Amino acid sequence: MAQAQTGGDPDTPRFEARAYAALFELRVTRANGSIVTGLEADDFAVYEEGRRRPIAAFEERNRVPVCLALLVDSGNNMSRDGLSTAKQLIFDLVHRLDPQDEVLVATYAKEVHYLSELTRDRRKLTEALTNLAVGGRSGKLARLGSLFGSNAYTGYAVDETLLKMGQCRADNRFLLVFSAGFGNIGQATLDHLERAGVRFFGVGVYNRLGDAFNLGGDQKVRRRIEKRTGGIHYSSNYILEQVQDVAMALKHHYRVAYLPGDLAKDLVRRRVEFQLPDHPDWTLHWARVVQRETGAKSGF
């Protein structure tokens, strides 16, 4: 909405701009995890409290600068194979990103050990990976230990790393966590991620015994956090075949602004849903764009 202002030179119109739009970031994936590009505004439908709302602005963004923190669970339920896969994933992924992208690498159990600070230097990141131990437990012992829980505290590691991510130059910020347990995460973890505007991507190590004994509570919370932050979940069984898909998910998204209904109601508390009417087999991942205190603009 724009209102004309009077006064001054009568031949020079002035306007007071008032934007009433809710801004979201969306990613679209196929069943195999690959990112869908080339969509238009007409491909999307947005609903607020069950009622369809008009899209006010739409943009597809490619090769955006990113800030990425990689956390690797080194607790007692991580196998040698799991750690080895994480190491190869990180090596392949950081070399698929752009030179201006910032990356941090850390392992965690009860404490977080930063193998690198936020850096654009690929040489430093490669050197940091030499300190990512791949000893671990054997697969059998790791699965047995996971029955009694992990000693890795993902929630604490996320909180500590979010503080470091306050130094990120890029507005597009991600945490990619490689874990067999995702222990100690909950509502506080979600609140902190949403407040920081950080997307939570998970790489899960399959835990057959934990699932059989219904010990997957943390996995359920993990799924909720991924959904609420617009993140994507991957399986460690296939992740090395999907590295390019992960890189694409970090670098590509759609920005959609829609016109909300009742302007007197808090925008954050509204129930919003996005759909792709012509592609029900694709998956939408969305989250609200947070405008940071640094003054970064969240517009188009």
Among the residue ranges 23-37, 143-157, 159-173, the one predicted with the least confidence is: 143-157
What pLDDT sits at residue 296? 41
- Locate tokens 């080194």: which residue? 74
Contact indicator for 216, 187 with CB cutoff of 8 Å: no
pLDDT digits (tens, 9 = 90+) for 177-227: 999 888 889 999 999 999 999 999 999 986 555 444 444 557 789 999 999
Identify residue 6 by its one-letter amino acid code. Answer: T
- Please tell me the distance from the alpha carbon of residue 151 to that of residue 147, in angstroms, as a whole number: 12
pLDDT digits (tens, 9 = 90+) for 222-260: 999 999 999 999 999 999 999 999 999 999 999 999 999
Question: How many residues are given for the chain?
Answer: 300
β partners of residue 116 = none
Within 10 angstroms of residue 163's Cβ, the number of other Cβ atoms is: 10
Q: Kindly state the average pLDDT of the residues 50-71.
A: 96
- Please tell me the distance from the alpha carbon of residue 176 to that of residue 222, in angstroms, as a whole number: 12
More confidently predicted of 18 and 224: 224
Contact indicator for 167, 69 with CB cutoff of 8 Å: no
Identify residue 32 by its one-letter amino acid code. Answer: N
What pLDDT sits at residue 262? 77
Confidence category of residue 173, pLDDT binned at 50, 70, 90: very high
Q: Which of 186-195, 267-276, 290-299 has the highest mean pLDDT?
A: 186-195
